[in-house]
């Protein structure tokens, strides 16, 4: 039973007992006159209504706090219940807000450490794939070429098939290495990396149309990496789940805010709960204090928008 009904029923019990006494031995007349009974009943009803109204007002801050605690999401920071009500409730709401501030800060710090370690591990794996596996497959490809030159006619076709399989594996290794750690992002900057990303997904059956503003500020490395990873995850989700034909990948800057927009014409997200991909994008957005929205658009499709403040970075 809620606190409201507990207090209300207690008050009601007291008032009912008082009314019973007034209608019983403690009365102004015996027997009870109809007018007196009506006055007592009306007075009792009014007191109950007033008691309920006062309790509703007094417990409203506690109900707002309860709703805020139920809907709290550390991936959507900044939502705080208003500090109102009596001193005890105001102190309770203030304590909750302070606790939420600390939790959001601690989560942001721990997420930053985890993602930083993840990027370092990705870079190490990409480097090993490129240096070790890539070089090994390149050596195998050269050896097969020498074997093909000296192989009898009936074996050259099989050697050629082995060459094609090895070449395909080498291309796949390079593609995986680029996705783990895009070298073009470090070497040529964010716009070139996003163009390469759009071209990569276009070759996988989805037409990605890039659109970039002509006057973009230089961003710091962390912001560029977050923008790239969010675009990569959004395009990956589109290719896997959206059944889309066309996707728009846009990057613009307005009034000190850089905006990344990925919009598709697929089947939309509907009422499906957010998966690990979207939650991962939200965690990355928190690293740079950016705002991320994922919403349906038009009659179908989904739009992912990331807005981040422009922070000065080294010239690219």
Q: Which of 7-16, 117-126, 177-186, 280-289 has the lowest mean pLDDT?
A: 177-186
Query: Is the pTM for the entire model greater than 0.85?
Result: no
205 in the same domain as 171:
no
pLDDT exceeds cutoff 70 at 1? no
Would the CA dihedral through 128, 129, 130, 135 be positive or negative?
Answer: positive
Question: Does the pLDDT at position 168 exceed 90?
Answer: no
Q: Is residue 111 part of a domain?
A: no
Q: Look at residue 156 and tell me if it is in a domain.
A: yes
Instruction: Establish if 128 belongs to a structural domain.
Output: yes
Domain closes at, from 104, 126, 155:
104
CATH number of the domain bearing residue 299:
3.30.565.10
What range does the domain containing 62 cover? 3-104
Same domain, 217 and 273: yes
**Within this chain, do residues 227 and 272 fall inside the same structural domain, yes or no?**
yes
Distance, CA of 15 to CA of 315 (rounded, Å) = 77
Q: What percent of the chain has pLDDT over 90?
A: 4
Give the pLDDT mean for 239-251: 86
Same domain, yes or no, for 210 and 239? yes
Of these ranges, 19-23, 127-131, 282-286, 302-306, the one predicted with the greatest mean pLDDT is 302-306
Task: State the maximum Cα–Cα separation within the chain, in Å, rounded to a whole number.
Answer: 127
Domains of the chain: total: 3
- What pLDDT score was predicted for residue 80? 83
Domain contains 264: yes
User: Of the residues 74, 104, 134, which one is the last residue of a structural domain?
Assistant: 104
Are the C-beta atoms of residues 239 and 302 closer than 8 Å to each other?
no
Q: Give residue 315's pLDDT.
A: 38
The verdict on 47 and 79 lying in the same domain is: yes
Is 139 in the same domain as 227? no
Q: Which of 41, 72, 104 finishes a domain?
A: 104
Q: Read off the pLDDT of each residue in 68-78 and give the average, rounded to a whole number.
A: 77
One domain, residues 301 and 212 = yes
Q: pLDDT (tens digit, 9 = 90+) per residue, 246-305?
A: 899 999 988 888 999 999 888 877 776 777 788 888 888 888 888 888 888 877 788 999
For residue 86, pLDDT over 50 is answered with yes
Assess if residue 314 is contained within a domain: no
């Amino acid at each position: 039973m809620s606190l409201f009904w507990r207090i209300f029923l207690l008050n009601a019990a007291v008032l009912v007992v008082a009314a019973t006494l007034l209608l019983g031995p403690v009365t102004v007349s015996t027997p009870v006159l109809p007018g007196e009974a009506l006055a007592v009943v009306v007075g009792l009803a009014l007191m109950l209504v007033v008691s309920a109204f006062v309790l509703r007002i007094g417990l409203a801050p506690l109900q707002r706090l309860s709703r805020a605690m139920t809907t709290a999401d550390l991936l959507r920071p900044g939502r705080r219940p208003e500090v109102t009500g009596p001193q005890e409730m105001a102190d309770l709401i203030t304590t909750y807000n302070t606790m939420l501030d600390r939790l959001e800060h601690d989560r942001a710090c721990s997420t930053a450490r985890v993602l930083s370690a993840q990027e370092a591990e990705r870079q190490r794996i990409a480097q090993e794939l490129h240096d070790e596996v890539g070089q090994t497959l390149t050596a195998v490809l050269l050896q097969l070429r020498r074997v093909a030159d000296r192989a009898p006619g009936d074996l050259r076709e099989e050697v050629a098939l082995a060459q094609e399989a090895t070449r395909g594996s080498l291309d796949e290794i390079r593609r995986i290495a680029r996705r783990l750690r895009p070298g073009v992002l470090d070497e040529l900057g964010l716009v070139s990396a996003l163009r390469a990303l759009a071209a990569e997904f276009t070759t996988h059956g989805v037409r990605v149309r890039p659109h970039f503003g002509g006057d973009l500020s230089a961003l710091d490395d962390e912001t560029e990496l977050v923008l790239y990873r969010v675009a990569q995850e959004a395009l990956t989700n589109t290719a896997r789940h959206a059944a889309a034909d066309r996707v728009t990948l846009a990057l613009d800057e307005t009034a000190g805010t850089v905006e990344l927009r990925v919009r598709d014409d697929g089947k939309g997200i509907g009422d499906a709960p957010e998966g690990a991909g979207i939650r991962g994008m939200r965690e990355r957005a928190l690293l740079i204090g950016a705002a991320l929205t994922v919403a349906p658009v038009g009659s179908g499709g989904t739009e992912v928008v990331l807005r981040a403040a422009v922070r000065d970075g080294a010239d690219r």
